[in-house]
Amino acid sequence: MKLYNIKENDEQVSFGQAVRQGLGRNQGLFFPTELPRFDDIDGLLAESFVPRSARILSALIGDEIPEDKVHELVGNAFAFPAPIKSVKDGVYALELFHGPTLAFKDFGGRFMAQSLATVAEDGKITILTATSGDTGAAVAHAFYGMENINVVILYPKGKISPLQEKLFCTLGKNIHTVAINDDFDACQALVKQAFNDEELRQQVGLNSANSINISRLMAQVCYYFEAVAQMTPKERDNLVISVPSGNFGNLTAGLIGKAMGLPVKRFIAATNANDTVPRYLESGQWDPKPTVATTSNAMDVSQPNNWPRIEELCRVKGWPLEQLGKGAVVEDAQAADAVRELQSMGYLCEPHGAIAYHVLEQQRQPDETGLFLCTAHPAKFKEVVDDILDTDIPLPPALDKHSKMELLSLNFDNDFAKLKQLLIDVRHSD
Ligand SMILES: *Cc1c(COP(=O)(O)O)cnc(C)c1O
């Protein structure tokens, strides 16, 4: 398959190039020149998760990677389920947190790791990324133990939760974590500086593994089909899906699924107080405000970097943007109410998923089936959930194990020369 740069349409790349490069010229995002469409949706849905996902990804990637190879990559990446749970009549939760780092980013991170290992040209790769939590953990676990790939993750010292830090800073081997004595923006600036250093970039084979990588989005298309496959044909016919959104990668993947034939009536874009998109859908004005901190901090994004892909998809398909419906903004207090409401129905949920539930219940018609995405395990946001429910939720085994391990992070000042030396040392370490 070919992909083109949304900003500079004459730049066209293969799947392998898009995975290796991440971004095109002028920071342009890559988008498929063609979206395959499945006509026999019932047949597709009748298959089980891994073979069905292999078919979907193979259709997207094309003959650049043989289908049995794609099947193998998917089998390695999707080694955990994506179940739907009924929370009340007509409403399901899609649980995307059964992977090793307890958030949906495991799907994309692990498929990207598999893809990159497959399309890497000779030589070693160094993944350099900055994180405020979930992405770093997913990337670290996805690439852990892979040959010829080293990972360096920067995070702001003391500004991510101790539990999150333990989850990805205790691995060792090819995973190198660095606590920077500064904030998240400073970490991102260091990463940017490294990517702007052309000589260093070549020398250590830099790649960013961030959420704009097309392989991550493609992987996410698969669990929308998996959710629908678990419903009855009647439920599928009138389905509304609510997506808790930050960078809007998850919603982009759902819309790509729809373009490929996923039966879904409409999507709902739910955000927290960082409401650039809902305001844009209302007024037509793109007017990002400074980011505000909320209890759903993985969605604290005011300049969502996948939004141009959604506009491009709507343009290509001739879908009016209004068909996305009205976006909706959920404040922390409403999210907390939604967590309590779900708890009263016997479903434990953290604020990101609860935001999606809240908007779903505001906008769903009585005859519609609703599905909301639960993007993280409640224990991953234990402090917030304990506080809202006045409880002490237990840690799942994976988190409990890491919480008892020793931190292996280095600690640097905000100093590019030191980072550069580390990248060179890591490149030559084995
Ligand atoms: C990353 C993340 C989101 C936001 O997903 P986007 O694809 O960036 O819109 C929502 N919830 C959780 C728990 C996340 O980690």
Cα(362) to centroid(ligand 1), Å:
21
Euclidean distance between CA atoms 147 and 149, whole angstroms: 5
- In ligand 1, the atom with minimum distance to the C-alpha of 97 is 13
pLDDT at 121 over 80: no
Confidence tier at 324 by pLDDT (50, 70, 90): confident
Q: Please tell me the predicted confidence (pLDDT) of residue 325.
A: 67
Q: What is the strand order of the sheet 12-14 is part of?
A: 12-14, 2-5, 30-32
Task: For ligand 1, pick from 97, 107, 132, 134 the residue to mutate: most ligand atoms within 8 Å of CB.
Answer: 134
Q: Taking residues 411-421, what's their average pLDDT?
A: 97
pLDDT at 158: 87
CA dihedral (139, 144, 147, 149) in degrees, to 10, reads 30
CATH number of 82-104+214-389: 3.40.50.1100
Is residue 123 very low, low, confident or very high in pLDDT (cuts 50, 70, 90)?
A: confident
Ligand 1: residue of 163, 252, 296, 299 to mutate (most ligand atoms within 8 A of CB) is: 299
Distance, CA 299 to ligand 1 centroid (Å)? 6
Tell me, in angstroms, the distance from the centre of ligand 1 to residue 148's CA: 29
- The rounded Å distance from CA 375 to ligand 1 centre is 7
Which comes out higher in pLDDT, residue 136 or 227? 227
The CA 280 to ligand 1 mean position distance, Å, reads 20
Average pLDDT, the chain: 93
Q: Binning pLDDT at 50, 70 and 90, where does residue 151 land?
A: very high
Mean pLDDT throughout 143-169? 91
In the reported structure, the alpha carbon of residue 246 is separated from the centroid of ligand 1 by a whole-number distance in angstroms of 5
pLDDT > 90? residue 32: yes
Residue 185, pLDDT > 70, answer yes
C-alpha 103 – ligand 1 centre gap (Å) = 8
**Model confidence over 339-392: pLDDT tens digits?**
999 999 999 999 999 999 999 999 999 999 999 999 999 999 999 999 999 999
Which atom of ligand 1 has the smallest separation from the CA of 248? 9
Can you give the pLDDT at residue 407?
96
Ligand 1 site: residues with CB under 6 angstroms?
103, 105, 134, 244-250, 298-299, 352, 375-376
- Looking at the CA of residue 252, tell me the nearest atom of ligand 1: 7
Instruction: Order the strands of the 125-130 sheet from edge to edge.
Output: 206-207, 125-130, 149-156, 175-180, 410-412
pLDDT at residue 54, rounded to an integer: 98
Indicate which residue's Cα is closest to atom 14 of ligand 1.
298
Measured distance between the N- and C-terminal CA atoms of the chain, rounded to whole angstroms: 35
Distance 297 CA to ligand 1 centre (A): 9
- Is 398 or 35 the better-scoring residue by pLDDT? 35
Q: What average pLDDT score do residues 308-332 get?
A: 88
Residue 247 Cα to ligand 1 midpoint, Å, equals 7
Q: Which atom of ligand 1 is nearest to the CA of 134?
A: 15
For ligand 1, atom 8: residue with the closest CA:
247
Question: Token digits for 38?
Answer: 């499945």
pLDDT score recorded for residue 430: 66
Domain ranges (residues) in the chain: 82-104+214-389
pTM: 0.94
